A and B are shown apart, each in its own frame.
Chain A
Amino acid sequence: MANQGTTVTHHAASSSKPQTGLKSFIRRNLNEITLLIGLVLVGAFISFNSSAFLTPANLINVFRSAAFLGIVTWGMTLVIIAGEIDVSVGPAVAFSAVFFGWLVTNNNVPLPLGVVLVLVVVTSVGYLAGFIRARFNVPSFVTSLALWSVYDGLKQVLSNNIPIPVESEGFRIWGRDALLGIPYPIIIAGILFLFFRYISKNTVYGRSIYAVGGNAKAAFASGISVSKIRASVFAITGALAALTGLLQVSRLGSATGQVASGLEFSAIAAVVIGGTSLSGGRGSMIGSLIGVLFISVIGNGLVLMGVNSQVQNVVRGVLILVAVLLNVIFKQQSKDI
């Protein structure tokens, strides 16, 4: 009864005008559109201050770093839509990289087997974390925080903080080389984006994630296996973290625990900037894509404009806060339209 007023609004506003045409398109995608405008404005500001920004080489750089952030972010989007959070992805990427180097270089495991092992192990650990959350009702912030620490420790145990070289030209193609001028990581992130966008919109599994995040009890009462959904989204972030770790090794030619530090922060920020609700049930992949681009453009711009690296973090934090704030304010406004 509390929002009867708005109920009435929706009825009448839309029964008089069917929801087609440009106006309703804008209304349905207001969030994405405002984000895109923000992105363009930030881009314009940077290119005004640095002529290097809008060069093809730099843009490819931006997209490459967006790709490395994006892959994990697609999974994070599903996790957050399910009403959960996974803060372990940064160390999970670093661990995957080091674990791979340790297997292949230190223990002479054949390369393809190493790839499979890393994927299987990190995916399973993710599933386990999700299972603990689902089975014992431990908040996922806590399970993934614990996992953060475990991965962070393990990567140091395995590497002693020394980069492990991985020298295989065939393997290095995936992180370093390009197809028709487009680096492979961008292609991979792009394909995964389309894949997860499809999953989230057009499969029973994807819609069940929304249902669980929106109202878990109702989802359970509808015959959805809530615990399986919960566990599975963490398996997905695990798998994507492993993949990101492997790509990092491929790009650098060595496995180092220094990669992806703070990635969990950026990924969560990208999802939230993209308009996905931290309380679950609402959100979109496309929003996260824009969020990822936003963060990558800001990061690149700060470097190009010669901002001191300590100050960069401060500026980045403030900009992210502003973006989220604008997003929330716009959302409130669009409710009243």
Chain B
Amino acid sequence: MTETPALELKSIYKFYPGVTALEQVDFAIRPGEIRALVGKNGAGKSTLIRIACGLEKPDQGTIAIRGQQVHLHNPADARNFGIEIVSQELNLVPWMDVAENIALGRWVKRRGSIDYPEMRRRAVAALARLDMEIDTTLPVTRLSPAQQQLVEIAKAISREPSVLLLDEPTSSLPLTEVAVLLATIKRIASQGVAIIYVSHRLSEIAEIADSVTVLRNGKLIGTSLLKDVTEQDIVAQMVGSDVVLQEIETRDYTAQPVVLHVEDLSIPPRIEHVTFDLHKGEVLGLAGLLGTGRSEILRTIAGFNHTEQGQITLTTGGTHKDSVQHMIAQGVALVAENRRDEGIIPYLGIHENVAIGRWKQVTKRGIISWQRVRSVMADLIQKLSIKTPTLETPVMNLSGGNQQKVVIGRWLEVADRVLLLDEPTRGVDVEAKSQIYDIIRRAAQRGVGILVVTSELEELLWCCDSIIFLHNGKASKKYARSELNVDLLNMLVNGGKL
């Protein structure tokens, strides 16, 4: 391969005070190549990407675009050299329409005023390249998350980039839309655009990438062609030790009493007549495609939503009410899907973020004993293996995985009856994932009934005892984990039957 790389980073070093974020990292990508960039949180992926798109400058090393050495002072520079990034968070203006969002910052003007027809034509053309038809007059807030993500990509594409950086583009998309997105990415690459694809989802990488670069602790572990490595190899390279996701032990929960009984629950328009039992010590997975109402079931049980129809009973004592406060008092708590939105309180310390669920333990008549907070939380934080310099560190300074452990930790022991987990491992690296499964299993061992919702199907096999599938608003029967494998999961989640 003597072809000139579309983008080449040579011997990149990046230091932050007290830490080397990147150490002698080389990275080169050909036009038309799809390169997966993987590593645990904190491995240096984001820093590398930020350097590639001009958000940060390397302390040492050079950047070359199509063989020519360049200096990227800011994102506008990078853009001028044909480097576009689609980041994890959407950067769209919700109330502007699709066409204007695509044109944002590069409005088409004619005689000093904005040329709306031309702007619309270009937007349609950009969307067509993605094989997409969206009404360009709709405000983007009316689009689904996947459509918004695609609009974001269309916006990047419309600038004719030679390198496109995609930072976890699928982390908030349902499976069906992931497929559309992946197909789109392949198409763009076939037009000669070099694509750098960051994701935690190895199955996606296996599907689209030509090659994979693994970073660990700021160092380049290696770049290999995808056909030469297995998923296990990649995981091993990422964590630096052999596979961490071991099979879980099978446990019989059926002898335990039922702790939660859901009878004939309907949540219009998504859920119809759902009935199931959750035993003490059982980890029950609720599987279903996005939008099937999985989260709604959890939220209704946790008291966030009004129970329209049906009966939710705490069979071992306690009552169900449509009140979050009440349900927490009954030992029923939810770790919500979106950790930034409904989970963490960014500026407060880790100890407070955990304590907020259990002030009673550390207060007397509303007055906090910080000493007790520290001793109780230090213990818990160790149990959860949360990596942090101090207890008081604002939770926003932690990696995603550690933030998630904080939010789960908030409810451990507080939720002594039922713990509801909505996407507990989203955007979390492999190591943190296995730690979270471990936390879940241990809580179940103590006798907590646990309901888990997840979009990553394999995950169900790694942490659940039993699984119920939701399809078209209906719930399947309960399957034991031992009866299932990944292929069966895929079939059942799409409405198939055993």
Contact = CB atoms under 8 A, between A and B. Distances in A.
Interface of A: 1-16, 18-19, 202-205, 207-208, 210-211, 214-215, 217-225, 281-282, 336-337
B410 A222 contact: yes
A199 to B, nearest CB: 9
B472 interface: no
10 contacts: A4-B42, A5-B47, A9-B17, A9-B19, A14-B18, A19-B392, A207-B352, A211-B348, A223-B328, A224-B356
Given A6-B397, A7-B41, A221-B304, 17 more contacts: A1-B46, A1-B88, A2-B46, A4-B42, A4-B45, A8-B19, A9-B19, A10-B389, A12-B19, A13-B16, A14-B389, A19-B390, A204-B366, A204-B368, A208-B356, A218-B343, A282-B347
A207 B352 CA distance: 8
B356 A205 contact: no
B24 interface: no
A20 B400 CA distance: 27
Contacts of A210: 345, 347-348, 352
B347 A204 contact: no
Specify the main secondary structure of chain A where it touches its partner.
helix
B56 interface: yes
B374 interface: no
Contacts of B168: 1
B363 interface: yes
A73 B477 CA distance: 60
A50 B356 CA distance: 51
A282 B390 CA distance: 19
A47 B367 CA distance: 43
Contacts of B363: 204
Q: For the side of the interface on B, what is the size category? A: 35 or more
Contacts of A202: 367-368, 370
A222 B370 CA distance: 19
B389 A5 contact: no
A281 B347 contact: yes
A4 B200 CA distance: 15
B324 A214 contact: no
Nearest to B403: A7
Contacts of B368: 202-204, 207
A204 B384 CA distance: 24
B465 interface: no
B325 A225 contact: yes
Contact of A203 (B88, B325, B342, B366): B366
B310 interface: no
A1 B346 contact: no
B4 interface: no
Given A14-B390, A211-B345, A221-B334, A5 B370 contact: no
A221 B336 contact: yes
Contacts of B400: 1
B354 to A, nearest CB: 10
B393 interface: yes
A7 B367 contact: no
Contacts of A6: 16, 397
B45 A19 contact: no
Nearest to A12: B19
Among B168, B352, B368, residue most surrounded by chain A Cβ atoms (within 10 Å): B368
A222 B334 CA distance: 9
A219 B347 CA distance: 13
Given A204-B363, A282-B347, A9 B16 contact: yes
B345 A215 contact: yes
A5 B16 contact: yes
A26 B218 CA distance: 30
Contacts of A222: 328, 356-357, 410
Contacts of B17: 9, 13, 336-337
B89 interface: yes
Interface string B82-100: 0000011100000000000
Interface string B256-278: 00000000000000000000000
B366 A205 contact: yes
B41 A4 contact: yes
Contacts of B393: 10, 14
